[in-house]
Amino acid sequence: MSSRGLEIRKFEESDYQEVVKLQNVISPWTKSSVESLKHLDENFPEKCKHQRYIAELDGEVIGHASYSQWEGSYEPGKFSIYGAIHPDRQGEGYGAELYQHVMKELDEYDPIKLKANTKEGKERAIRFLKDRGFREMNRVWELELDVDSFDLEKDGRSEENLDEDGIGITTLKEIGNDENNRRKIYGLFEEIMEDIPGSEEFTGMDYDQFIERIFNRPIFSPECTIIVEKDGRFIGMLIQYDVEEENAIYTGLGGVRRKHRKKGVATAMLTRAVEIAEKKGVSKMKTESMNESILKILEKLNFDKRPGRIELEKTL
Protein backbone atom coordinates (compact mmCIF):
# COMPACT_ATOMS: atom_id res chain seq x y z
CA MET A 1 0.00 0.00 0.00
CA SER A 2 1.27 3.47 -0.88
CA SER A 3 1.60 6.32 1.62
CA ARG A 4 -1.63 7.78 0.18
CA GLY A 5 -3.64 4.63 0.80
CA LEU A 6 -3.63 3.20 -2.74
CA GLU A 7 -3.41 -0.59 -2.77
CA ILE A 8 -2.30 -2.28 -5.99
CA ARG A 9 -2.73 -6.04 -6.15
CA LYS A 10 -2.98 -8.84 -8.68
CA PHE A 11 -6.33 -9.38 -10.33
CA GLU A 12 -8.60 -12.10 -8.92
CA GLU A 13 -11.50 -14.01 -10.46
CA SER A 14 -13.96 -12.00 -8.39
CA ASP A 15 -12.74 -8.72 -9.95
CA TYR A 16 -14.23 -9.19 -13.42
CA GLN A 17 -17.49 -7.39 -12.68
CA GLU A 18 -15.77 -4.33 -11.23
CA VAL A 19 -13.26 -4.13 -14.10
CA VAL A 20 -16.02 -4.32 -16.71
CA LYS A 21 -18.04 -1.67 -14.88
CA LEU A 22 -15.01 0.62 -14.70
CA GLN A 23 -13.96 -0.01 -18.29
CA ASN A 24 -17.41 0.82 -19.63
CA VAL A 25 -17.21 4.21 -17.88
CA ILE A 26 -13.71 4.89 -19.21
CA SER A 27 -14.28 3.58 -22.74
CA PRO A 28 -18.00 3.59 -23.61
CA TRP A 29 -17.25 3.21 -27.35
CA THR A 30 -16.19 -0.42 -26.92
CA LYS A 31 -18.46 -2.06 -24.40
CA SER A 32 -16.82 -4.79 -22.33
CA SER A 33 -18.55 -7.80 -20.79
CA VAL A 34 -17.48 -10.31 -18.16
CA GLU A 35 -17.93 -13.15 -20.63
CA SER A 36 -15.73 -11.56 -23.32
CA LEU A 37 -13.03 -10.55 -20.85
CA LYS A 38 -12.89 -14.04 -19.36
CA HIS A 39 -12.64 -15.59 -22.81
CA LEU A 40 -9.72 -13.33 -23.65
CA ASP A 41 -7.88 -14.12 -20.41
CA GLU A 42 -8.41 -17.86 -20.69
CA ASN A 43 -7.01 -18.12 -24.21
CA PHE A 44 -3.56 -16.58 -24.09
CA PRO A 45 -1.06 -19.12 -25.47
CA GLU A 46 1.49 -20.42 -23.00
CA LYS A 47 4.39 -18.43 -24.46
CA CYS A 48 2.53 -15.12 -24.05
CA LYS A 49 2.82 -13.43 -20.67
CA HIS A 50 -0.31 -11.79 -19.30
CA GLN A 51 -1.27 -10.27 -15.95
CA ARG A 52 -3.96 -7.89 -14.68
CA TYR A 53 -3.80 -5.60 -11.65
CA ILE A 54 -6.38 -3.83 -9.50
CA ALA A 55 -5.97 -0.42 -7.84
CA GLU A 56 -8.09 0.11 -4.73
CA LEU A 57 -8.57 3.18 -2.57
CA ASP A 58 -10.34 2.68 0.75
CA GLY A 59 -11.67 -0.65 -0.53
CA GLU A 60 -13.08 0.85 -3.75
CA VAL A 61 -11.75 -0.16 -7.18
CA ILE A 62 -10.61 3.06 -8.86
CA GLY A 63 -8.31 1.64 -11.54
CA HIS A 64 -6.95 -1.40 -13.30
CA ALA A 65 -3.94 -2.22 -15.45
CA SER A 66 -2.37 -5.08 -17.37
CA TYR A 67 0.54 -6.26 -19.46
CA SER A 68 0.21 -8.83 -22.23
CA GLN A 69 1.78 -10.25 -25.37
CA TRP A 70 -0.05 -10.97 -28.61
CA GLU A 71 0.89 -14.15 -30.46
CA GLY A 72 0.31 -12.49 -33.85
CA SER A 73 3.32 -10.19 -33.41
CA TYR A 74 5.25 -12.09 -30.77
CA GLU A 75 8.72 -11.14 -29.56
CA PRO A 76 9.89 -12.34 -26.12
CA GLY A 77 10.66 -8.82 -24.88
CA LYS A 78 7.74 -6.96 -26.46
CA PHE A 79 4.70 -6.17 -24.32
CA SER A 80 1.47 -4.22 -24.55
CA ILE A 81 0.55 -2.35 -21.39
CA TYR A 82 -2.74 -0.78 -20.37
CA GLY A 83 -3.85 1.26 -17.41
CA ALA A 84 -6.93 3.25 -16.51
CA ILE A 85 -8.15 5.28 -13.54
CA HIS A 86 -11.77 6.24 -12.91
CA PRO A 87 -12.41 9.75 -14.32
CA ASP A 88 -13.32 11.05 -10.85
CA ARG A 89 -9.84 10.14 -9.53
CA GLN A 90 -7.69 11.18 -12.47
CA GLY A 91 -5.05 13.87 -12.06
CA GLU A 92 -4.22 12.81 -8.49
CA GLY A 93 -1.13 10.72 -9.22
CA TYR A 94 -2.76 7.31 -8.94
CA GLY A 95 -2.16 6.55 -12.61
CA ALA A 96 1.57 7.17 -12.14
CA GLU A 97 1.65 4.76 -9.18
CA LEU A 98 -0.15 2.11 -11.19
CA TYR A 99 2.21 2.56 -14.15
CA GLN A 100 5.29 2.28 -11.92
CA HIS A 101 3.91 -0.89 -10.35
CA VAL A 102 3.36 -2.55 -13.73
CA MET A 103 6.84 -1.55 -14.92
CA LYS A 104 8.40 -3.02 -11.78
CA GLU A 105 6.46 -6.26 -12.30
CA LEU A 106 7.70 -6.43 -15.90
CA ASP A 107 11.36 -6.20 -14.89
CA GLU A 108 11.70 -9.98 -14.50
CA TYR A 109 11.01 -10.45 -18.23
CA ASP A 110 13.65 -7.94 -19.46
CA PRO A 111 11.26 -5.97 -21.70
CA ILE A 112 12.76 -4.26 -24.75
CA LYS A 113 9.68 -2.62 -26.26
CA LEU A 114 6.35 -1.43 -24.88
CA LYS A 115 3.16 -0.64 -26.75
CA ALA A 116 0.21 1.34 -25.44
CA ASN A 117 -2.85 3.01 -26.88
CA THR A 118 -5.31 5.69 -25.96
CA LYS A 119 -8.19 7.58 -27.51
CA GLU A 120 -7.76 10.63 -29.70
CA GLY A 121 -8.77 13.69 -27.68
CA LYS A 122 -7.74 12.23 -24.32
CA GLU A 123 -5.01 14.83 -23.86
CA ARG A 124 -4.15 13.84 -20.29
CA ALA A 125 -3.55 10.20 -21.30
CA ILE A 126 -1.55 11.20 -24.38
CA ARG A 127 0.62 13.55 -22.32
CA PHE A 128 1.05 10.88 -19.62
CA LEU A 129 2.46 8.40 -22.12
CA LYS A 130 4.62 10.89 -24.02
CA ASP A 131 6.11 12.17 -20.74
CA ARG A 132 7.25 8.59 -20.13
CA GLY A 133 8.99 8.22 -23.47
CA PHE A 134 6.23 6.82 -25.68
CA ARG A 135 5.91 8.12 -29.23
CA GLU A 136 2.97 7.92 -31.59
CA MET A 137 3.20 5.20 -34.26
CA ASN A 138 -0.28 4.91 -35.79
CA ARG A 139 -3.84 6.16 -35.66
CA VAL A 140 -6.62 3.65 -36.07
CA TRP A 141 -9.88 5.34 -37.01
CA GLU A 142 -13.16 4.23 -35.49
CA LEU A 143 -16.24 4.47 -37.68
CA GLU A 144 -19.96 4.01 -37.13
CA LEU A 145 -22.94 3.62 -39.46
CA ASP A 146 -26.54 4.45 -38.63
CA VAL A 147 -28.11 1.46 -40.38
CA ASP A 148 -31.55 3.07 -40.70
CA SER A 149 -30.11 6.00 -42.66
CA PHE A 150 -28.33 3.77 -45.20
CA ASP A 151 -29.87 3.80 -48.70
CA LEU A 152 -28.97 0.47 -50.31
CA GLU A 153 -29.89 1.58 -53.83
CA LYS A 154 -28.02 4.88 -53.59
CA ASP A 155 -25.07 4.01 -51.37
CA GLY A 156 -24.59 0.26 -51.85
CA ARG A 157 -22.79 -1.81 -54.43
CA SER A 158 -24.56 -4.34 -56.66
CA GLU A 159 -23.20 -7.88 -56.78
CA GLU A 160 -24.22 -8.34 -60.44
CA ASN A 161 -20.78 -7.57 -61.88
CA LEU A 162 -19.20 -10.01 -59.45
CA ASP A 163 -21.68 -12.69 -60.50
CA GLU A 164 -20.53 -12.25 -64.10
CA ASP A 165 -16.95 -12.97 -62.97
CA GLY A 166 -18.03 -16.11 -61.15
CA ILE A 167 -17.66 -14.49 -57.73
CA GLY A 168 -20.32 -15.24 -55.13
CA ILE A 169 -21.03 -13.62 -51.76
CA THR A 170 -22.56 -15.61 -48.94
CA THR A 171 -22.37 -15.98 -45.16
CA LEU A 172 -20.62 -18.53 -43.02
CA LYS A 173 -23.97 -19.67 -41.66
CA GLU A 174 -25.26 -20.34 -45.19
CA ILE A 175 -22.28 -22.46 -46.26
CA GLY A 176 -21.73 -24.10 -42.87
CA ASN A 177 -19.58 -23.18 -39.89
CA ASP A 178 -17.67 -26.46 -40.16
CA GLU A 179 -14.04 -27.57 -39.96
CA ASN A 180 -13.46 -27.44 -43.72
CA ASN A 181 -14.70 -23.87 -44.06
CA ARG A 182 -12.84 -22.77 -40.95
CA ARG A 183 -9.61 -24.10 -42.47
CA LYS A 184 -10.30 -22.10 -45.64
CA ILE A 185 -10.90 -18.96 -43.60
CA TYR A 186 -7.67 -19.56 -41.68
CA GLY A 187 -5.71 -19.76 -44.96
CA LEU A 188 -7.27 -16.50 -46.12
CA PHE A 189 -6.59 -14.91 -42.73
CA GLU A 190 -2.86 -15.63 -43.01
CA GLU A 191 -2.61 -13.89 -46.40
CA ILE A 192 -4.69 -10.89 -45.33
CA MET A 193 -2.71 -10.36 -42.12
CA GLU A 194 0.55 -10.06 -44.06
CA ASP A 195 -0.82 -6.99 -45.86
CA ILE A 196 -2.48 -5.10 -43.01
CA PRO A 197 -0.72 -1.75 -42.58
CA GLY A 198 0.88 -1.02 -39.25
CA SER A 199 4.11 -0.94 -37.34
CA GLU A 200 4.18 -4.62 -36.39
CA GLU A 201 5.23 -7.59 -38.46
CA PHE A 202 2.75 -10.46 -38.40
CA THR A 203 4.54 -13.47 -36.89
CA GLY A 204 1.73 -15.96 -37.41
CA MET A 205 -0.93 -17.64 -35.30
CA ASP A 206 -1.52 -21.37 -35.12
CA TYR A 207 -4.89 -22.76 -36.18
CA ASP A 208 -6.14 -23.71 -32.70
CA GLN A 209 -5.37 -20.25 -31.37
CA PHE A 210 -7.10 -18.69 -34.38
CA ILE A 211 -10.23 -20.71 -33.62
CA GLU A 212 -10.23 -19.54 -30.00
CA ARG A 213 -9.60 -15.90 -30.91
CA ILE A 214 -12.23 -15.71 -33.66
CA PHE A 215 -14.80 -18.49 -33.73
CA ASN A 216 -15.07 -19.16 -30.01
CA ARG A 217 -15.54 -15.56 -28.98
CA PRO A 218 -18.94 -15.27 -27.29
CA ILE A 219 -20.10 -12.54 -29.69
CA PHE A 220 -18.88 -14.16 -32.95
CA SER A 221 -21.70 -14.37 -35.51
CA PRO A 222 -21.64 -16.89 -38.41
CA GLU A 223 -24.92 -15.33 -39.56
CA CYS A 224 -23.25 -11.94 -40.05
CA THR A 225 -19.79 -13.11 -41.21
CA ILE A 226 -19.39 -12.59 -44.96
CA ILE A 227 -17.53 -15.02 -47.24
CA VAL A 228 -16.62 -14.39 -50.90
CA GLU A 229 -15.99 -17.43 -53.12
CA LYS A 230 -14.64 -18.03 -56.61
CA ASP A 231 -14.25 -21.53 -58.05
CA GLY A 232 -14.65 -23.04 -54.58
CA ARG A 233 -11.86 -20.92 -53.10
CA PHE A 234 -12.41 -18.25 -50.46
CA ILE A 235 -11.11 -14.94 -51.83
CA GLY A 236 -12.61 -12.50 -49.33
CA MET A 237 -14.09 -12.38 -45.84
CA LEU A 238 -15.57 -10.02 -43.28
CA ILE A 239 -15.55 -11.33 -39.71
CA GLN A 240 -18.45 -9.87 -37.72
CA TYR A 241 -19.65 -9.84 -34.13
CA ASP A 242 -23.22 -9.37 -32.91
CA VAL A 243 -23.35 -7.32 -29.71
CA GLU A 244 -26.96 -7.59 -28.60
CA GLU A 245 -26.59 -5.31 -25.55
CA GLU A 246 -25.76 -2.42 -27.90
CA ASN A 247 -28.04 -3.51 -30.75
CA ALA A 248 -24.90 -3.26 -32.88
CA ILE A 249 -22.75 -5.33 -35.21
CA TYR A 250 -18.99 -4.95 -34.93
CA THR A 251 -17.04 -5.53 -38.12
CA GLY A 252 -13.67 -7.07 -37.34
CA LEU A 253 -10.98 -8.40 -39.63
CA GLY A 254 -11.81 -8.20 -43.32
CA GLY A 255 -9.93 -8.41 -46.57
CA VAL A 256 -9.60 -9.74 -50.11
CA ARG A 257 -6.86 -11.83 -51.69
CA ARG A 258 -4.31 -9.73 -53.57
CA LYS A 259 -5.25 -10.75 -57.13
CA HIS A 260 -8.93 -9.93 -56.55
CA ARG A 261 -8.50 -6.45 -55.07
CA LYS A 262 -9.72 -3.21 -56.67
CA LYS A 263 -12.68 -5.01 -58.28
CA GLY A 264 -15.40 -3.83 -55.93
CA VAL A 265 -15.34 -6.94 -53.75
CA ALA A 266 -14.75 -5.08 -50.47
CA THR A 267 -17.59 -2.63 -51.18
CA ALA A 268 -19.94 -5.48 -52.09
CA MET A 269 -19.06 -7.32 -48.86
CA LEU A 270 -19.80 -4.26 -46.77
CA THR A 271 -23.06 -3.68 -48.65
CA ARG A 272 -24.14 -7.25 -47.90
CA ALA A 273 -23.16 -6.72 -44.26
CA VAL A 274 -25.43 -3.67 -44.06
CA GLU A 275 -28.27 -5.65 -45.65
CA ILE A 276 -27.91 -8.31 -42.96
CA ALA A 277 -27.84 -5.70 -40.20
CA GLU A 278 -30.98 -4.11 -41.64
CA LYS A 279 -32.84 -7.44 -41.75
CA LYS A 280 -31.82 -8.18 -38.16
CA GLY A 281 -33.14 -4.81 -37.02
CA VAL A 282 -29.70 -3.73 -35.83
CA SER A 283 -29.38 0.04 -35.42
CA LYS A 284 -25.59 0.48 -35.66
CA MET A 285 -22.52 -0.98 -37.33
CA LYS A 286 -19.10 -0.24 -35.86
CA THR A 287 -15.61 -0.88 -37.14
CA GLU A 288 -12.08 0.49 -37.15
CA SER A 289 -9.33 0.76 -39.74
CA MET A 290 -6.06 2.47 -40.56
CA ASN A 291 -6.07 1.31 -44.18
CA GLU A 292 -6.58 4.37 -46.41
CA SER A 293 -8.34 2.47 -49.21
CA ILE A 294 -10.76 0.83 -46.74
CA LEU A 295 -11.39 4.17 -45.02
CA LYS A 296 -12.41 5.68 -48.37
CA ILE A 297 -14.84 2.81 -48.99
CA LEU A 298 -16.35 3.12 -45.51
CA GLU A 299 -16.79 6.87 -45.81
CA LYS A 300 -18.37 6.43 -49.25
CA LEU A 301 -20.85 4.06 -47.60
CA ASN A 302 -21.69 6.84 -45.09
CA PHE A 303 -19.80 5.45 -42.10
CA ASP A 304 -19.05 8.40 -39.82
CA LYS A 305 -15.46 8.77 -38.68
CA ARG A 306 -15.16 9.00 -34.91
CA PRO A 307 -12.16 9.93 -32.73
CA GLY A 308 -9.44 7.40 -33.43
CA ARG A 309 -7.27 5.16 -31.32
CA ILE A 310 -3.66 6.31 -31.01
CA GLU A 311 -1.03 3.56 -30.89
CA LEU A 312 2.20 4.50 -29.12
CA GLU A 313 5.49 2.70 -28.60
CA LYS A 314 8.51 2.95 -26.31
CA THR A 315 11.89 1.28 -26.78
CA LEU A 316 13.66 0.47 -23.53
Any idea where the domains of the chain sit in the sequence? 6-111, 143-307
Kindly report which listed range (69-73, 103-107, 157-161, 277-281) carries the lowest average pLDDT score: 157-161
Quick: pLDDT tens for 80-115.
999 999 999 999 999 999 999 999 999 999 999 999
- The pLDDT value recorded for residue 37 is 94
- Phi/psi region, residue 264 (left: phi>0; alpha: psi -120 to 50; beta: rest), is left
Q: Is 143-307 CATH 3.40.630.30?
A: yes
Check residue 244 and give its pLDDT. Answer: 82
What dotted CATH number matches 6-111?
Answer: 3.40.630.30
Say yes or no to pLDDT of 1 above 70. Answer: no
Residues 134-168: b if buried by 16+ CB within 10 A, e if exposed: beeebebbbbbbebeebeeeeebbebeebeeeebe
pTM, full prediction = 0.88
Beta bridge partners of 244: none
Q: Report the pLDDT value the prediction gives residue 28, as an integer from 0 to 100.
A: 76
Confidence of residue 3 (pLDDT cuts 50, 70, 90): very low
Averaged pLDDT of the chain: 92
Per-residue pLDDT at 245: 77
Question: Which range (26-30, 117-121, 261-265) has the least confidence?
Answer: 26-30
Topology agreement, domain 6-111 and domain 143-307: yes
Q: What is the pLDDT of residue 185?
A: 97
